[in-house]
Amino acid sequence: MNATTWDSSYEWRAVLIMSVAFGLVGVDRFVLPTLFPSMMQDLHLNYQDLGNLVGILGVAWGTAAILVGNLSDRLGRRRVLVPAVVLFSLLSVLSGFATGLLSLLAIRAVMGFAEGPVASTGVAVAVEASHPRRRGMNNGFFQCTIALFGIGIAPIVATQLLRITSWRAVFWIVGAPGLIAAAFMWFIIREPRSIPGAHQTAAPRRAPLGTIFRHRNVPLSILGLLCAMTGVFVLSAVMPNYLEDYLKLTNSQMGFVTSAIGFGGALGQFGLLTLSDFIGRRSATLLSFVIAAIFLWLFIHTGVNLPVLFVLLSIAAMFNFGALAILAGPIPAEAAPVGLLASVAGLVIGGGEIFGGGVAPSLAGTIAQHFGIQYTLYYALAGQVAGLLICAFLLETAPRRSGSGRRAAVSELDKAPATLH
């Protein structure tokens, strides 16, 4: 492939619109924990309910990512993405009409099923649109928006909106932009066969579905992502209540400190994925888990000091989200058999989501309810340590690190069929 066959204009347009859509997924998903302290009294909810609300969305997200990832390989990207974005946007609006726990659980479950395909299919779109040497950077840009919008900007905006309106109105406001993004996606996103230079066009046939696990990085990515997501989603779920109920911060102070997860996470997803293009996927992942664990431990042992809390939490989130992004994006993508890119991405993201984004927050809610919310942070810390041990067994697949010359620009993702490593 060369500059004359690669469509850089489409590359940047596709990555940009997918990044906006994924950022709106983050807003709709993560605004609930920020609003939860205000919702608790109105709807008579507790910490266990919070964990279950976060968890049921994660389980549904993961299930949909697995099922619909393969569907998008067969039906096409736009036919999956556009309806999914429309549906989760409408469900966010519907959350504002919830009357109790059961209605919220039902809404969040269906919302998760709509959001999951945006993750798995979005990774496939970003990879297919990207030149091999920019896969890490572009996937970082795509993935970082979920943290930037959802946990960085949303907590600040939501807590400020709560000063002038109700938590119900906040749900109505954040759901509307997704409908606009869906319209743009319909006109921008192309199918793999129509992208000049895309790796999938060279494949004579799709590899059998049973070859998904032939590369050992696929199961390792699932387990590693489970650990990374345990840290990300436990912290995202419990942080607002931890800061208000345990550290006794005000609502505005809570919004400020909680936003550190989003701003740090966004920087980590972009920065660590870009760095992984140069130092390798495995090295960047291991580095991420080590630093995330160190700074989360320091955060746990810090008292009421807003600037210090913000800095420590942002660094912990930066590297935790960095590990998540690498394990959810280029590592499984570069291990995918030909024609099964979204299927592999969906399987990895889905497996990590069901347990790391679904079961883990529910268990965190149980810990908070019965032992104290402060102990949930040690649970998140354990996820970082376990992730470090698992990812030590990854094989390197970054184009710059796995070969030289032309081979440096072609990863396993470009080969047919996938080989056993």
Indicate whether 69 pLDDT > 70: no
Indicate whether 7 pLDDT > 80: no
Res. 70 pLDDT band, cuts 50 70 90: low
Indicate whether 139 pLDDT > 50: yes
Res. 413 pLDDT band, cuts 50 70 90: very low
Indicate the average pLDDT of the chain.
82
Percent of the chain with pLDDT over 90: 23
Per-residue confidence (pLDDT) for residue 199, from 0 to 100: 46
Per-residue confidence (pLDDT) for residue 107, from 0 to 100: 92
How far apart CA 345 and CA 124 sit, in angstroms, is 7
Per-residue confidence (pLDDT) for residue 126, from 0 to 100: 83
Q: Which residues contact 405 (CB under 8 A, 6 or more apart)?
A: none
Per-residue confidence (pLDDT) for residue 208, from 0 to 100: 53
Question: pLDDT, tens digit, for every residue of 310-369?
Answer: 999 999 999 999 998 888 878 887 877 766 766 777 788 788 878 887 888 889 888 998
> Rounded mean pLDDT of 282-297?
95
Res. 409 pLDDT band, cuts 50 70 90: very low
Instruction: For the chain, list the domains and their CATH numbers.
Output: 10-189+223-409 (1.20.1250.20)
> Which residue blocks in 76-206 are alpha helix, DSSP H?
77-95, 101-129, 135-147, 154-161, 167-175, 177-188
Per-residue confidence (pLDDT) for residue 362, from 0 to 100: 85
How far apart CA 189 and CA 402 sit, in angstroms, is 30
Question: pLDDT, tens digit, for every residue of 186-227?
Answer: 988 887 665 555 544 344 455 555 666 677 888 898 899 989
Highest mean pLDDT pick, 2-6, 173-177, 301-305, 310-314: 310-314
Question: pLDDT, tens digit, for every residue of 14-61?
Answer: 889 988 988 888 888 888 888 888 898 889 888 888 888 888 888 888
Cα dihedral 353/130/266/94 (nearest 10):
-50
Per-residue confidence (pLDDT) for residue 338, from 0 to 100: 64
Per-residue confidence (pLDDT) for residue 299, from 0 to 100: 96
217 closest CA partner among 122, 142, 127, 282: 282
Per-residue confidence (pLDDT) for residue 310, from 0 to 100: 95
C-beta separation of 285 from 321 below 8 A: no
Per-residue confidence (pLDDT) for residue 194, from 0 to 100: 57
Residue ranges with strand state E in 30-103: none
In three-state secondary structure terms, 7 is: coil
Indicate whether 401 pLDDT > 80: no
In three-state secondary structure terms, 163 is: coil
Question: pLDDT, tens digit, for every residue of 83-127?
Answer: 889 998 899 899 889 888 999 999 999 998 888 788 778 877 887
Percent of the chain with pLDDT over 70: 86
